Structure 1
Amino acid sequence: MSSNKKAPMPISAEQSKLLESALRIKILNVLANEAHTSKQVANLLGKTPGNVHYHIQKLYDGGLLDLVNTQTVGGVVEKYYRSKTTFFKPEQFTEFNYLEDEPPYRAATRLLLSPAQYQDFIDELDALIRKWEAKDTDGAEYGVLFTLGRVQDSDSGSD
């Protein structure tokens, strides 16, 4: 599976803070393929228009949304926004403050990967994350942080 997707958009620490909300991530996903107004996004997500408008304004002011069209309908100005991307590369990753009474799920392993397999793994992981970000879900907010990096060879011989 080869990757034709764009590289992640580099973002500042301030922009990264804007993404510390599952609702904002959902808004970005709704606006990924089609421009919508705040009210349309609110209807699609089943949220209040005022709440969604607030978050859209923050994302727009932070440079993560584009204003692609403005129309006046019956004396009301409708602003249509679109996400610049849903794939970001922050300057630095920060750990989440997990609840103490609900320990986070953790898993670790080592994989032998060729450069092509490494890229395929990343592409599949990114697709999985974007799939769940875009799903119509409700409930508690969870933080997901994966680290994949080349490790030093161990001293325990290899086959």
Structure 2
Amino acid sequence: MAPPDDVLALTSPEQFAALAHPLRQRLLFALSAGAATISRLAARLEVAKGSVAHHLKVLRDAGLVAVVETRTVRGGTEQYYGRTAKRLLIDAPAPEGTAALFTAVAQEVNRSPDELLLTLRHLRLTPARAAELAEQLRRLVDECEEDEAADALPHGVLVTFYQQRTGRSV
């Protein structure tokens, strides 16, 4: 079973549309822990297998998941689905992609069993300092290694850094 790519740049309307449904976002988050069958995903998410199958097809058609392994079980074939990338990246932000990612994070935050860090802060920065901060944030996320310990739990990270529109040209 080949590991997923590190990063998938989201560019197509099909990818943004696939991310627009809450169950598909939950499926992607669930698959972050590793490949799983429709039955296992349905049980983990407490959703009907038919719904899981339908939404996995949409994610598969959008290139966000793939069948990564098949096994013969009791005369049938069991398919294991996995993410095609560990991280999703929107290279050229579009309103539908931004909305899809923020919706996904909002739903996960609302389901989080523990305290979370959620902060919005506005800063006045020179262009040079803004570029430096953006690079620091990029490095922080890129260099963070996952724990391999058995008691490691999944955590979500969304980093956004943007220049506010002020009404005057910059």
TM-score (norm 2): 0.58
Matched positions, count: 127
Cα deviations across residues 56-90 of structure 1 (Å, max 9, x unaligned)?
Answer: 11111221112111112112221101011241327
| Percentage identity across paired residues of the two chains | 23
Q: Which runs of 5+ in 2 are unaligned?
A: 100-119, 145-153
Residue matched to 2:108: none
Residue matched to 1:89: 90
Instruction: Give the partner amino acid of 1:52.
Output: V
Residue matched to 2:163: 149
Residue matched to 1:26: 26
Report the Cα distance in structure 2 between the residues aligned to 1:7 and 1:72, rounded to whole angstroms: 31
Q: Say which structure is richer in helix.
A: 2
Residue matched to 1:116: 132
Cα deviations across residues 11-58 of structure 1 (Å, max 9, x unaligned)?
Answer: 301211111012111111211241101111111111111111110111
Residue matched to 2:35: 35
Q: Rg: which structure is higher?
A: 1
Residue matched to 1:61: 61
Instruction: Give the partner amino acid of 2:12.
Output: S
Report the Cα distance in structure 2 between the residues aligned to 1:29 and 1:123, rounded to whole angstroms: 22
Report the Cα distance in structure 1 between the residues aligned to 2:72 and 2:7, rounded to whole angstroms: 36
Residue matched to 2:14: 14
Contact 1:29 1:83 in 2 (8 A): no
Report the Cα distance in structure 1 between the residues aligned to 2:44 and 2:139, rounded to whole angstroms: 28
Instruction: Give the partner amino acid of 2:123.
Output: R
Instruction: Give the partner amino acid of 2:40.
Output: Q
Q: Which runs of 5+ in 1 are unaligned?
A: 97-106, 134-143, 155-159
- Give the secondary-structure state (helix, strand or coil) at the position aligned to 1:72: strand
Deviation at 1:114, TM superposition (A): 4.6
1:80 aligns with 2:113: no
- Give the secondary-structure state (helix, strand or coil) at the position aligned to 1:109: coil
TM-score (norm 1): 0.61
Report the Cα distance in structure 1 between the residues aligned to 2:91 and 2:25, rounded to whole angstroms: 14
Instruction: Give the partner amino acid of 1:116.
Output: E
Q: Structure 1 residues 48 and 59, CA, compared in 2 at 3 Å: closer, same or farther? A: same
